[in-house]
Each structure stands twice: as structure tokens, then as C-alpha cells.
Structure 1
Amino acid sequence: MSKPNVIVIGGGLGGLWATLRIADAGFPVTLFSLFEVKRSHSVCAQGGINAVLDTKGQHDSIGQHIIDTIKGGEYLANQPPVKAMCEDAPGLIRTFERMGVTFSRTPEGLLDQRLFGGVKNKRTCFAGASTGQQLLYGVDQQVRRFESEGKVVKHEWWEFLSLLLDADGICRGIVAMDLKSLEVRAFAADAVVVASGGMGQLYAPKSTTSTNSTGAAASRCYRQGAWMANAEFFQFHPTAMMGHDKNRLMSEAARGEGGRIWVPKTPGDRRPPKTIPEAERFYFLEEFFPAYGNTVARDEAARAIWTVTRQMGLGIGGDGGDRVYLDLTHLDAAFIGARLGAILEIYRKFAGVDPMTEPMEIFPAAHYGMGGLWVDFERSADGGIQPDSPRNHATNIPGLYACGECDYAYHGANRLGANSLLSASYSGRVAGESVVSYLKGLGSDRRALAPAIPQAEIARQQAINADLMRAEGSDTPYRIQKELGALMTAKVGVVRSNPELESALGELAVLRERLRNARLGESSTWSNQSLAFARQLGDMIELAAVVTKGALARDECRGAHYKPAFHIPIPEGRFAGDPEFEAYRDRWHANNAQWLKTTIAEHTDDGPRLSYQEVDLSVYPPTEPRDYR
């Protein structure tokens, strides 16, 4: 038989790294993308990528990076993958350098590093404020080399519709649709890697993500039997500029470079911000979290902004006070322009204000799903993961792998800033190497996929398209999606309650039924964007139900999941022997015993069925709560 081949779905950092490692091992790869690969959402990452190089002489250590990541995620991430990722980060940076990535440097020529949230050491490498773009372009050039040699074939403007599963439930390829001609075709493969990105559009337009970040590919795998894990943990980035079309990210690098967040101390103060004296400003992050100040972890910063605006009534802006100031005006303009130029231009363009002369107005926005497709790992003797194990990044469906933002592996209950580009790159590389091991283990007795399986799946997908094209209801997918975003933002957002989550589940069921009869408004058989969008929206509603049900079941506060009714406040005194603190610590350990578990969601016709897995705590067991004060 011919050499085993692989399909990769997604052309961001995760997908390109997987493609690179598989092709480099001599196996042919077919890469599918919704658009040109260089437009993948990885280009939108701004602030940097974490790695311990200690170019600032702060005595940083890989061990501290591991601890910061584990504690930042409230101990919910399996620790061997986190350990391996942090240990491999410096090598990844050097590899990117050899690919030609233009990292920012110090006057001495060393790689420059900046401060990011949830840490006290400067360990974030960056390329101005367009780091994701530079990293993606670097890896893309390497993949293009294999493409020129015929080892990689790209199918851009194709959408993944479903997996091809044989009689034993093994993934043997995919069915995909040409977004121009609407042709539905089957593609056989010996392994499939899903690297399709996040699902921020569940919260649109109050989201920082691309319109293509629907999570549809992961949802389609979930509906065919792949597990989703920890989907209830969704990060709301504390600093996004609000807009009518979407919310745009103002990188955490702005805080890392010295930006300060504040509001006027007097409610309803409408004076221009530059005229408000220092004594009349409330720098609330610096007061709430004196140990970290403005670089506190994102979940804490987002909740602090929520508290100041929604509960204390100190927000600014003309839309009910849902904004606070992110102030760079006290910093050197040339220095900030060189290091944050990309985000300054975004703010100037869409807000019409220069952030170097007037403070930016920001508010938390849906940004990143810590949860995603469940993936496995094999623990190594040194406490990391076993290199080249076919278990690493394998889903519960044999032959199906996942990496990048669409998996759940590295961030637990909250992601530290600049760990996203690291986890996307590292997980893609590991997934690619794992697939190579999987392919080598198949042997020479591989059987061809029975022709009836792809034929039946193509017919099923064509029937779905035909049904959508025939629908004549009064609703439109775009109206339903707008209501979905409003529902998720209002009831499954920064602060959650069980009554609202129960209500949201009922409303999602109504949206699902409405979509069945929604009219597309166009019947073109060429480049019908409404058809593709309606299909994606159905998958988004399924994912929204997974997020909501997981949040309803988890009666605790952990990382990005916050229910005030189950909050255990940390006492002011923090010392052994203090009765109040000892009582708090006992409650914290009891809560961990109950809830320090991974949520697993399995698809059923009646909605997601939840179960729980123990978390691997073998590297840094939780002895005390996370406390950024």
C-alpha cells in the first residue's frame, strides 16, 4: 500500500507545527483551512510568547514558570504536559529564531523580554505588538518548503464537515466542502489532526476573536463521539476596546510595559481624564492586588473591573459606565510606540483617539476558551510527558488528534498571558510527533476504507445542505447568532449564577429549534456564505450547551468560572495558627477534594452528559490557595 497520509484541519500555529513535524518525518500531509493559511487567527496574538531565558537577570527559572502556570490555572491542568511545555519553551524560541522570526531585542542584541500578567519576572519574548503574526509567518515559510517538494498539499477555502469513522470507530479521514463551489468530497487518511482554533464567537459581538472562531470543527468532532473537557472555563480578557461590530483586544503587554488601570473616585465624574488629579483617581488593581498590581492574572483583573463598574458604580463612558481607563500617557511615547505600535494603531483607527495623549477606554471581553477537545498524554519518568508517545494529544477517538486552542491540555481554569502562543506551538509540535509514532505503529496490513462509508457520509452532508437551502421560516441565522451572543454574554459571562445558567440552557434549546427552520435568504450554489454560516451556528449552539451545562454543574469559584454564591473569601490574615485562616484553608482543601477534577462532556441526543476525571497533580500538589494580594 501507499505510505500512510495525514489530514490537518487548521492553518494556525498548531496546525502548521503539526504539519511541519509530520512532513519532516516523510509522511504526506493534506492541510485544510477556511481561508488562506496566513490569515489564521494566530496572527491576532499581540503581546508575546513565554519562555525562561532570564535576559533581564531576575533569576527566573523554568520551575517558576511551571508553578506560575499551574497556580494561574487554579491547579486544574494536568501537570506533566505543563512541565514539559515550560521546559521546552526556551528551545522553541531558539527554533523560531532560526526560522527568521524578528523578535525585539535589547541594545546589546539580546532577546528582549517583558512582564505579563500573573507573574513577577520578565519572561515574555515579543516582536513589537504583532508577535503572533511573526511566529505564524516563520512557520508558514517552513511548511511552504515542504509544499514546494510535494510533501504538503493545501486545500484553502475548504471547510471540514465531519469525520470518517470505520466500523471499529477509528478515524479514517474527513468529509469537507469547497466553500466556493459547495462541492462535498471525502478525503481518506490514516490520521487526522484538528487544529481549528477557539470558540469565541459564542459571545459575539462582545468578543475579541475572529468571525471564524466558531468552534464548529471541534463541535463536529464532539457530535461524533469526541469528548469535550473543561468547556465551562472561558477567559474574558480585561482590556478590550468596545465597538459596535466587535471588541478589539488591547494587549496585556500594555499593562506589562507600565500601563495603569483606573477610574475616577467620584461616581459619574465626566471630566476629561487628563484633568483629574492623581489624588482623585482610583488605581483599583494596585489597591486590590498590591503584590502584582496592574499585571495581576486576567481572571482577577476582569472580575475587579466588573466589581468597580457593576457593583461600585465607578465606571466611565456613556453606555452605563461599562468602561475603565487603561492609561499609557505617563510613559515615554517613543518607547511605547516601538513596543506597542500595533495596538496603538488599532485604537487610533477604531476609537479616533491617540492612546499617548488620552487614556484608552476598556472593558472585559470574551477572549479564550481554556476548555476544548479532551486529549491524552503519557507521563514520563521525569514527571513530564514521554517524547514521541502516540498517546500525546490523542483524543478518545483512535486516529484523531487535537492541538492548539481547540484542545484543553495546558491552561486549567485560567490561562496566563503569553502562554497561548507557547501552547499552540508546543502542542502542534508534540501532536505532529505523536502522529508520526502512531503511523509507524500501524504496520503494513492497513486496510482500505470501505467505499460505502464515505459515500454514505457525503450523502448525509448533502442532505443537510439541501434541507437548509429549502427552509422558509421567518428567522435568519444572523438574527439567531446575535441572540446567542447576547444570551451567553449576559448569563454565562464573567459572573454566573445557577438560576441564570438554568434559564440559558432553556433558551439555547429554543434557539436550536428556531435554527431548524431559519431561512438563508439566498439559494446560490456558488460561494453561499449563509449556508456555511448556518451550519456553523448549529455547532455553536451545541458548544454553548456544553459550556453552560458544565458551568451549572460546577458549584464553585475557580479561575475564570466565578459564582458569587459559592465564593470562599480569603481572610486578611495569612499565617499559620490564625484561626480564621486555618478555617479558610480547611474549606479550600475540602472544596478541592470535591471539585479539583476535569469536566468531561459526551454528546447525547438529550444534550451533554457530564462526568469527571482526576487531575494529575504529581508535579506541584496544591498546598495553598492562589492569592495575588
Structure 2
Amino acid sequence: MSQPSVIVVGGGLGGLWATVRIADAGFTVTLLSLFEVKRSHSVCAQGGVNAVLDTKGQHDSVRQHIIDTIKGGEYLANQPPVKSMCEDAPGLIRTFERMGVTFSRTPEGLLDQRLFGGVKNKRTCFAGASTGQQLLYGVDQQVRRLESEGRVIKHEWWEFLSLLRDEAGVCRGIVAMDLRSLEVRAFMADAVVMATGGMGQLYAPKTTTSTNSTGAAASRCYQQGAWLANAEFFQFHPTAMIGHDKTRLMSEAARGEGGRIWVPRTPGDRRPPRTIPEVERFYFLEEFFPTYGNTVARDEAARAIWTVTQEMGLGLGGGDRVYLDLTHLDQAFISTRLGAILEIYRKFAGVDPVTEPMEIFPAAHYGMGGLWVDFERAADGGIANGSVRNHATNIPGLYACGECDYAYHGANRLGANSLLSASYSGRVAGESVVSYLKGFAGTRPGVREDLIADEVARQQGLNRAIQEGQGSECPYRIHQDLGALMTAKVGVVRANPQLESALSELRQLAERLDRVDFGAANPWAHQGLVFARQLRDMITLAKVVAQGALARDECRGAHYKPAFALPIPAGTFPGDPAFEAYRARWQENNHQWLKTTIAEHHDDGPRIHYQEVDLSLFPPTDPRDYR
């Protein structure tokens, strides 16, 4: 019997960590990436990565990190995976150190830590304002070592098209396309790990994500039977800057290091910001959230900006922008701590944030939802190390990790938990795949050659159908319309009539895509063809987001429907008769209350059902947790 092998799709932190763990265990890994691995979207994460090291002497604790993550996610994250992730975070940081990652340090030589949104303790390790890049490069060096030893085979500039499953339904490989030659080829393996990142391009151009963050790969798995979970929860980062070409993120670290968000108190005030007296400035986060101030969680900050600009009419120039002000801070300090984002703003806005406030607005940033993955609960309340269930999808042999899974963030992601969850989930998925491979006994059944040939031919046929299209529609225009639709009707604030309209318009966009015309096009390196294929899968994914949002009649985390924001009876707590009557009424009317949304693909649209959330460690006790 041949040695089992694995395919990892995606070269970001999740995919690289999975690759390292599987290859270190002695199995061959074929790693596929849309582009050079070092360009993966993990490099765009700026502010830092969470781990309780308590280098600031604030008596921080792992328990508090767990609670902050659970409460930040509005109790919609399964708690065992959260517990294990937070407990393993300090060890991950030490491992990154040994890989050569150059974290920022205090004058005493300790790892420096900064404050991030939604927490009261400084627990975010960072490497200036380019943390994701430094972490990715550290793991990439380990993968290159394994590649030089023949344990990793890397294919850059290849795109995942579909899964290959045997007659028992077990995932046994993939079909992928060379983006240069458009060759379509089958890759066989004994397990597949999807680590293909997020889906922010559903909201383009008002998204902070790369143009490659389409979610197409996850959508293709979903269309072949994989479940999607909690897709309606989409985080809008409160501090993004608009550009002529795309939207760029101004890291939450700017707020964590003392940045203040404000608008003039007088609507339409067009004076230069530095000339507006303090008394005439509205520091609305500090007034709305006196406990956290400018470091309030992202979902609350984004909704506050929406309220101030859309309802109160105080947006700069009457629009959706507000000021993010660093000018009161020491220039040398912020240049050292935030140099990367300051340079981005200088380059693309033509303004120096050291001397003038930045203009920012909420933009689509991170999907908390993604491919559903399993876990096995251990006796200590965390997850069982090495279990084959951890990060397994509902398709046997298919695993998922990184931003394309749903496992750790519930209804809203805590700032600086993304690099942590990507790294941790990749490591766990890799270890689970190793256990899965070691469980093989005897000869493994192969996939019939005719089934492989049929799927390759089907994918080639899809390419030809697009290339030979004779319609009048431009896919890039359709994508613009998709982004505008999602931003307007499935955005920061939602309402059921708008969501119903969005679903109808998404069906119309799908019909328009059937009438695409490229004109004369090369039979190789045809990026319009690649994009048109991705766009169809993006529209399918957008339907899941909108359908899940329509079905969830409550306000929780990044999903906010004012019509269902019922006030809690004043002065009541769990156990009080008035509160228990409120809770019973809420549960009776909301069958998705404290449950995970599960979407299954059908030809006429997604079918939604719900799954209980594991609340075994820290059940909600405060009335505010039941909103």
C-alpha cells in the first residue's frame, strides 16, 4: 500500500500550519495556492495576535481571554474550541518566536503587548503594524524547508475548482486549474484541507479584503454538499479608508494605541479638523460606551458610526466618514508602533496622519461564518487533541481551517483573534488529518477513472461555455452591482423587506451572468474567465448570507435588525419572573435563539436549519447576553 498523501488548498497561515503539521508527521503534502504563497491574504493583517503573556502586569488571565472571546461573539461560538485556542495561544507565540518572527519588544526585551477592541487588558502581541506578514513569512520558511526535503510539493497559481469523491462519498482529491495555461487537472489524495480564506469581495469595493477573497472555493464545496455555518454574520471594520482603487484597512491598533474617533457636533461643518475646538467635537464612542470608549468591540463601533452618520447626519461632508485622530499622540511613538498603516494612508490619501486626522468609515472585513467543522469535546472542557473530528467538515476526508471555517468567532470576532484562530486552526486541522491517515488499514479504495475523467471534462466544458458566450453582460459590472447590493441591503443594519429584495436581485444577477460576453480572448491566462467562474460562486454564497440574515430575527453581534431589538425589562436578571417571561417569549418567537445557522445547498436555494451551541463552560448570566 502506498503512503497516504494530503492536498492543502490555500497558502495563508491556516494552510501553511496544516502543511507543516502533516509533513512533519511523515506524510506528503501537495500545497496549491492561487498565487505566490507569500502574497496570501494573511500578510494584510496588521495590528497583532492575541495571547495571554501579561507582560504589562495587568493580571490578565487565559480565563479572561476565553470569556472575552465568548462574550465578544455574543455566545454563538462553541466554547470547547475557544477554550483550547486561548489556552494554546501563548505556546503559539513562543513557537513563532523560534521560527524567527520579529515581534515588537519593550525596552527591557519583553514581548510588547497592546490594547485591542472589546477587551480591557493589553494582550495583543505585534510586529509593528505588519504582524500578519511577519507571521506568514515565519511559517513559510518552515514549509520551504519541508519542500526542499521533498515532503511538500507546491503548486502556485492554481485554482481549486471542485472536490473528487469516491462512490462512498469520501473526499479523495480535487480538480484544479492552472491560471496561466488554463489546464484542468485532477489531483488525488487521501484527505483534503481547505484553507482558502474569506469572502469580503461579496461587498466590493467597500471591503478591506484582497481581490482574491471571493469565497469561491468554500462556495464550490458547499455546492457539492459541504455545510456552511453562520454565513449571515459579517463583520464591518469601523476604520477603513476609501481609495480611488480599493478600500484599505486602518488597523484597530490605531484605536488601541490611543486614537480617538469623532465628528464635528455641527452638521456640515467644513472647517479643517485641527481648527475645530475640543468642545465642538463629538467623541461619540466615548459618550456611547464609557466603559470601553474608543476600544469598544468592532460591531458596536461600526453601528455607532452608522448611527452618527446615517441617522444623526453628522458624517463628514454629509457622507459616511468620521475622523480617526492620532494627532494628540507623540509622533515618534505612533511612527514606531503604527508605521505600516501610517505609510499606507500617506501614500493613498495624500495626508499625513501624524499631523491631520484620518477619514474612515465601516467596511466589510471578516466573515465569521464559513464551512461547518466538527470538534470532539475533551474531559477538561476543551477539544480532544488529535481527534479526527476536529476541523472535519460533514464530507468525510474533507477538513477546513483558517478564515474559511466558522469555528471560533460566533456572531462577532474579537480583534486580533484572527491571526490566532488561523494559526491554531491550521495546526489542529493538520494534527486531525494525521490521525485520520493513521487510521487507515489495508488497501484504500480508489476513485473510478471514469468518474475522474467526467469531472475534469465537466470543468473544461464550463470553461468553454463561458468563453463562447455571446451575450452583452460584463462580469466586472455585475460584480460592482453585487457589491453595491450587499452593502446597501445586507450591511451594518438590516431589515427583512430589504433582505427579501436582496434575494430577488441576487437571482437576477445570476441570470445576467448567463449572458456574459468577453469578445476576443486568449485561450491561455484568461483572467476574465477565471473571474466569471468565481463570480457565479460568489452570487451563490451571497444568497446564503442573505437567506441566513432573513431567517435570523434577532440582534446578535454583527447581525443587527432594529425591528427585533426588544428592550430587556429594566432592573431584571435571570431568575426574576419578569425576565424569565421575557426569555420565554423571545425563545418562543425565535427558533434560532443561541443556535448555529446551518445552510445546505439545493438547486432552488439554501435550506436553513439550526444546531445547538455548546455553552457548557460559560453559560450566559447577564441580561445583556440575551438580547
TM-score, normalised with respect to structure 2: 0.98
The residue number in structure 2 matching 1:199 is 199
1:510 maps to which residue? 508
Give the structure 2 partner of residue 552 of structure 1: 550
Contact 2:166 2:446 in 1 (8 A): no
Identify the residue that residue 599 of structure 1 maps to in structure 2: 597
Provide the aligned C-alpha RMSD in A: 1.8
User: Is the CA contact 2:75–2:625 (under 8 Å) kept in the aligned structure 1?
Assistant: no
Shift, 1:577, TM fit? 10
**Alpha carbons of structure 1 residues 453 and 51: separation in structure 2 relative to 1, 3 Å:** same
What one-letter code is carried by the residue in structure 1 that aligns with 2:320? D
Cα displacement (A) at 1:476: 1.0
What amino acid maps onto 1:86 in structure 2?
Answer: C
How far is the alpha carbon of 1:622 from its aligned partner?
1.1
* Other structure's SS at 2:316 match: coil
Pairwise CA distance, 1:2: 1.3
Q: Which amino acid aligns with 2:207?
A: S
Per the alignment, residue 274 of structure 1 pairs with: 274
Could you tell me how far apart the structure 1 residues matched to 2:478 and 2:253 are?
A: 35
Give the equivalent residue in structure 2 for 1:61. Answer: 61
C-alpha distance 589-155 of structure 1, shift in aligned 2 (>3 A): same
Instruction: Determine what percentage of the aligned residue pairs are the same residue.
Output: 82
Instruction: Tell me how far 1:575 sits from its aligned partner.
Output: 7.4
1:452-471 alignment, distance < 5 Å: 452-471=450-469
Deviations 1:217-251 (A, max 9, x none): 00000000000000000000000011232211000
Per the TM alignment, residue 585 of structure 1 is displaced from its structure 2 partner at its CA by 6.7
* CA distances 1:126-163 after superposition (whole Å, capped 9, x unpaired): 00000000000000000100000000010000000000
Deviates more, 1:446-455 or 1:30-39: 446-455
Q: Of the candidates 413, 416, 419, which is equivalent to residue 417 of structure 2?
A: 419
Match of 1:388 among 368, 372, 386: 386
The answer as to whether partners of 1:72 and 1:626 remain within 8 angstroms in 2 is no
- Residue in 1 that maps onto 2:396: 398
Alignment match, 1:368: 366
SS in 1 for 2:366: strand
CA distance in 2: counterparts of 1:592 and 1:517, whole angstroms: 40
Instruction: Tell me which of 356, 359, 371 is aligned to 2:357.
Output: 359
What is the CA–CA distance in structure 1 between the aligned matches of 2:271 and 2:572, rounded to whole Å?
Answer: 40
Query: Corresponding residue for 1:110?
Result: 110
| 1:237 aligned residue | 237
User: How many aligned positions are there?
Assistant: 627
- Distance in 2 between residues matched to 1:360 and 1:291, nearest whole Å: 24
Q: Which amino acid aligns with 2:116?
A: F
For residue 526 of structure 1, what is the amino acid of its counterpart? Answer: W
Q: Distance in 1 between matches of 2:165 and 2:240?
A: 41
2:386–2:428 CA contact under 8 A, matched in 1: yes
Kindly indicate whether residue 34 of structure 2 is the aligned counterpart of residue 37 of structure 1. no
Q: Which amino acid aligns with 1:472?
A: Q
Greater Cα offset, 446-455 or 54-63: 446-455
Does the 8 Å contact 1:497/1:565 carry over to 2?
yes
Structure 2 CA distance for aligned equivalents of residues 46 and 438 of structure 1: 35
Deviation per CA, 1:375-424, whole angstroms, max 9, x where unpaired? Answer: 00000000000000000000000000000000000000000100000000
| 1:519 CA displacement | 1.1
What CA deviation, in whole Å up to 9, does each residue of 1:494-531 have, x standing for no partner? 00000000000000001101101211234211100000
SS in 2 for 1:164: strand
Matches within 5 A, 1:180-191: 180-191=180-191
Task: Specify the code of the residue in structure 2 equivalent to 1:129.
Answer: A
Structure 2 equivalent of residue 174 of structure 1 = 174
1:308 aligns to 2:308 (yes or no): yes
Question: Kindly tell me: are residues 237 and 266 of structure 1, through their superposed partners in 2, closer, same or farther at Cα, counting changes over 3 Å?
Answer: same
Per the TM alignment, residue 449 of structure 1 is displaced from its structure 2 partner at its CA by 2.0
Determine which of 428, 431, 436 is the counterpart of 2:429: 431
Task: Quote the residue 2:256 is aligned against.
Answer: 256
Unpaired segments ≥5 residues, structure 2: none
User: 1:562, CA displacement in angstroms?
Assistant: 0.4
Q: Say if 2:137 is the partner of 1:137.
A: yes
* Inter-partner Cα distance in structure 1 for 2:97 and 2:258: 27
Equivalents in 2 of 1:625, 1:265: separation in Å?
Answer: 33
- d(CA) in 2 for partners of 1:321 and 1:439? 55
- Separation of aligned partners in 1, 2:515 and 2:592: 42
Structure 1 counterpart of 2:72: 72
**Whole-Å Cα distance in 1 between the matches of residues 11 and 57 of structure 2?**
36
- Aligned match of 2:50: 50
Q: Deviations over 1:462-518 (max 9, x none)?
A: 000010001011101111111000000000000000000000000000110110121
Name the amino acid aligned to 1:554: R
Shift in Å at residue 450 of structure 1?
A: 1.4
- In the alignment, does 2:116 pair up with 1:148? no
* TM-score, scaled relative to structure 1: 0.97
- Is the partner of 2:537 in helix, strand or coil? helix
Counterpart of 2:621 in structure 1 is 623
Alpha-carbon distance change, 394 to 416 in structure 1, aligned in 2, over 3 angstroms: same
- CA distance in 2 between partners of 1:78 and 1:282 (Å): 38
Q: 1:496 aligns with which of 494, 497, 500?
A: 494
Bigger Cα displacement from structure 2, 617-626 vs 90-99:
617-626
Cα distance, 1:626 vs. partner?
A: 4.5
CA distance in 2, matches of 1:329, 1:587: 49
Shift of 1:452: 1.0
Alpha-carbon displacement from aligned partner over 1:251-288 (angstroms, at most 9, x marks no partner): 00000000000011111111111011111111000010
Q: CA offset at residue 592 of structure 1?
A: 7.7
Distance in 2 (alpha carbons) for counterparts of 1:383 and 1:602: 29
Distance 1:581 1:446, change over 3 A: closer
> CA 1:254–1:226 in structure 2 vs 1: closer, same or farther (change >3 Å)?
same
Q: Judging changes above 3 Å, is the alpha-carbon distance between structure 1 residues 454 and 578 closer, same or farther for their aligned structure 2 residues?
A: closer
Alignment partners' CA distance in 2, 1:548 and 1:594: 15
Paired with 2:578 and 2:491, the residues of 1 have a C-alpha distance of 31
Structure 1 residue identity aligned to 2:407 = A
Cα distance change, pair 308–357 in 1 and its aligned pair in 2 (3 A): same
Matched, 1:480 2:447: no
Any gaps of 5 or more consecutive residues in structure 1?
none
**Which stretch shifts more, 321-330 or 515-524?**
515-524
Amino acid at match of 1:462: Q
1:341 and 1:590 mapped to 2: Cα distance?
51
| Aligned equivalent of 2:209 | 209
8 Å CA contact retained: 2:572, 2:623: no
- The 8 Å contact of residues 165 and 447 in structure 2, kept in 1 or not, is answered as no
User: Given the superposition, is the C-alpha separation of residues 315 and 627 from structure 1 closer, same or farther in structure 2, using an over 3 Å criterion?
Assistant: farther
Partners of 1:71 and 1:626 within 8 A in 2: no
Q: Which runs of 4+ in 1 moved over 3 A?
A: 569-594, 625-628
Q: Letter of the aligned partner of 1:488 in structure 2? A: M
Residue type matched to 1:260 in 2? R
Secondary structure of 2:604's aligned partner: coil
SS at match of 1:32: strand
Query: 2:455 is matched by which residue type in structure 1?
Result: E
